[in-house]
Structure 1
Amino acid sequence: MVAATSGLHHVTAIGGDPQKNIDFYITGLGLRLVKRTVNFDDPSTYHLYYGDEAGQPGSLMTFFPWKGVPKGRIGAGQSTSTAFSVPAGSLGWWSEHFAALGVSSEITTEGSEEERLSLRDPDGLQLDLIASSIADPRNPWDSASVPAEYAVRGQHSSVLTVQDAAGTVALLTDDLGLKVVSEVGDRTRLAAGDALPGNIVDVISDPSAPVGLTAGGTVHHIAFRVPDHETQELWRQDLVSRGHQVTAILDRQYFTSIYFREPGGVLFEIATDTPGFDIDEPLLELGRSLKLPPWLEPSRDDIEHAVIPIVVPGENNPADHG
């Protein structure tokens, strides 16, 4: 193993109506839309990126929203739950906040070390808010809807459900450099470096789980962090030498990526921390306008007519209303 990941980079899921997606993740979850672009493989639909103020790796949740997309099935071979880190003692506020928005939520885990509030987004995607006894030092996005004292600090962890965990755990440890933190029943917790929020993956072994169907309300892939392009290239060569079917390095404009499937069927991405989301618009203006990579810019008029019109809440860019 030539490198070890420093944690989660982002999670990408499939949504339905893009306006409902925007309203939930900005007003409901209190994240910032840090990039409004398109799916580079299907420019007729958006690729929406949410995160903290600057869209730092480890804070990111991204979506391909297709209005009218068929409903998927959450199951084996997928990331079946995405958890965000929130401050200790904040779940009561979050429960009231979601209730006011008409969103059902339930505290499913209570304890001295970790409390969990479970809910689903408008497309049925399984989400959790985790209030951990381990303080999360990351700065939140202080939005109008969610005050900083309660706000999401970034990703906490992802749950991978597979029918046989042995190969998945072996890949995470041997090829990605994670370490096993605990094993309780059918759940193995692993972490990159210290077991801090944003570094954690839980693998659930469920031989009877139906194979997931990737469509609306399911996770498409999860991405792990690598610092730069050079490290990514070395890591790709190493993964290929270990027998993995790895894509070429793909330019995602704000990072570069490689993809491969782990033995349990979950699609993994390794994404660079650089160059970041402020390469084509200033920090204060992130998410305000549709951004296209240079190779799609000549088709801007066609793309703008193809995508569904959306309205981004003013709280996403407070300077516009200051």
Structure 2
Amino acid sequence: MSHNGIHHVTAIAGNARRNLKFYTGTLGLRLVKKTVNFDDPGTYHFYFGDETGQPGTILTFFPWDHVAPGRLGIGETQETVFRVPEGSIGYWTQRLIEKGVSHSSPERRFGETVISFKDPDGMRLAVVGVPGIEAEPAWSNGDVPAEHAIRGFHSVSLLLEDSAPTGAILTDVLGFAEAAREGTLVRYKAGDTAIGGIVDIRVAGGFLPARMGGGSVHHIAFRAANDAAQAEMVRKLRENHRIATTEQKDRNYFRSVYFREPGRVLFEIATDEPGFAVDEPVTTLGQALKLPTFLEGHRSHIEQVLPELA
């Protein structure tokens, strides 16, 4: 059965070691893949997620040591939100305090309890307590107990001047439907997709445009089961919305096309196939540096220029 929803979120970070420590240590995510930016091989590309790196759990980073900080503004992802069991909100409040992570007081959104916080580069994150997910499988690094562990994405929120044009893309092309409104938030849901199945649009006029940098989300990727499903989405974008995508790009673990949606956020459509276990066993995901075939001949040089992680 194919699912719609979020495939992954890709963001920009500063120091690679600090980024790795925060997401595997403080948040307890698994480093699912350690590779490089295919367009800038002197830079890591980290993929964090659950045990197998299933779509809807993957947060990826390009870490550049001296990147200038980004500025939140119109046309950007405002917040990336993780799912945790409803009874784990107290645990996460205490953990953020113990780890010295700046965070907000718990608030209610659409009937759920949310705690917002920032990573070391200022990326805006949150955890939301979701009822009835305690029995879902969860990756534990031994530091965050499995019963409190993150269970993939809950949602992303976009900061836009108008929700309607972007909403049209979400509903007509990407498999979402408007589900609720609360204040300036418009919520879209992807059917019964539990993990990564929500996009919120926060309507806010008069803000400056976003400036990309450290702590910014570079793009959001949405799921396509396979090449045929992706091609159908590309057709709808072209014929119904006059939006052209890039040519398909092979990212080893999925195949992608990219486009700017009407609010100027960069969207990607990524195939679920072939997944992260295509070049290493699930048991050892993320341990070795993996390179695409076209870069293997440069492995020695790449390993020399990449930042130290230990």
Which TM class, normalised by the smaller chain length?
over 0.9
Distance in 2, matches of 1:43 and 1:112, equals 42
Secondary structure at the counterpart of residue 276 of structure 2: coil
Distance in 1, matches of 2:179 and 2:135, equals 21
Q: Counterpart of 2:274 in structure 1: which amino acid?
A: P
- Aligned match of 2:243: 244
Distance in 1, matches of 2:230 and 2:189, equals 20
Identity %: 46
Aligned residues of 1:8 and 1:57 also touching (Cα < 8 A): yes
Tell me which stretches of 4 or more aligned residues in structure 1 moved more than 4 Å.
none
Aligned residues of 1:181 and 1:195 also touching (Cα < 8 A): no
Cα RMSD (Å) of the superposition? 1.6
- Aligned match of 2:205: 207
Aligned residues of 1:14 and 1:218 also touching (Cα < 8 A): yes
String of CA shifts for 1:151-200, please: whole Å, max 9, x gaps: 00000000011112221112211222211001222110001113734200
Of residues 130-139 and 270-279 in structure 1, the stretch that sits farther from structure 2 once superposed is 130-139
- Aligned match of 1:235: 233
- Aligned match of 2:52: 54
- Aligned match of 1:94: 92
Q: Counterpart of 1:255 in structure 2: which amino acid?
A: F
Offset at residue 245 of structure 1 (A):
2.1
Query: Is the counterpart of residue 35 in structure 1 residue 19 in structure 2?
Result: no
- Aligned match of 2:122: 124
Q: Counterpart of 1:106 in structure 2: which amino acid?
A: S
Offset at residue 143 of structure 1 (A):
1.6
Q: Counterpart of 1:299 in structure 2: which amino acid?
A: H
- Aligned match of 1:303: 302
Aligned residues of 1:95 and 1:106 also touching (Cα < 8 A): no
Aligned residues of 2:5 and 2:193 also touching (Cα < 8 A): no
Gaps of 5+ in 1: 312-322
Distance in 1, matches of 2:184 and 2:68, equals 31
Distance in 1, matches of 2:40 and 2:109, equals 44
| Distance change (3 Å), C-alpha of 1:75 and 1:33 | same
| Distance change (3 Å), C-alpha of 1:173 and 1:306 | same
The correspondence for 2:12, drawn from 11, 14, 36, is 14
Aligned residues of 2:173 and 2:233 also touching (Cα < 8 A): no
Distance in 1, matches of 2:111 and 2:232, equals 38
Aligned residues of 2:57 and 2:195 also touching (Cα < 8 A): no
TM-score by length of 2: 0.95
| Distance change (3 Å), C-alpha of 1:149 and 1:301 | same
Distance in 2, matches of 1:271 and 1:68, equals 29
Q: Counterpart of 2:24 in structure 1: which amino acid?
A: I
Of residues 182-191 and 51-60 in structure 1, the stretch that sits farther from structure 2 once superposed is 182-191
Offset at residue 138 of structure 1 (A):
3.9
Q: Counterpart of 1:283 in structure 2: which amino acid?
A: V
Secondary structure at the counterpart of residue 74 of structure 2: coil
- Aligned match of 2:261: 262
Query: Is the counterpart of residue 287 in structure 1 residue 267 in structure 2?
Result: no
Q: Counterpart of 1:268 in structure 2: which amino acid?
A: F
- Aligned match of 1:149: 147
Distance in 1, matches of 2:276 and 2:237, equals 27
Count of equivalent residues: 308
Gaps of 5+ in 2: none
Aligned residues of 2:56 and 2:195 also touching (Cα < 8 A): no
| Distance change (3 Å), C-alpha of 1:111 and 1:68 | closer
Aligned residues of 1:85 and 1:136 also touching (Cα < 8 A): no
Query: Is the counterpart of residue 70 in structure 1 residue 72 in structure 2?
Result: no
Q: Counterpart of 1:292 in structure 2: which amino acid?
A: L
Distance in 2, matches of 1:48 and 1:291, equals 11
Q: How does 1:138-217 map to 2 (within 5 A)?
A: 138-194=136-192, 196-217=194-215
Offset at residue 208 of structure 1 (A):
1.4
Q: Counterpart of 1:21 in structure 2: which amino acid?
A: N
Aligned residues of 1:83 and 1:158 also touching (Cα < 8 A): yes
Q: Counterpart of 1:30 in structure 2: which amino acid?
A: G
Distance in 1, matches of 2:175 and 2:222, equals 11
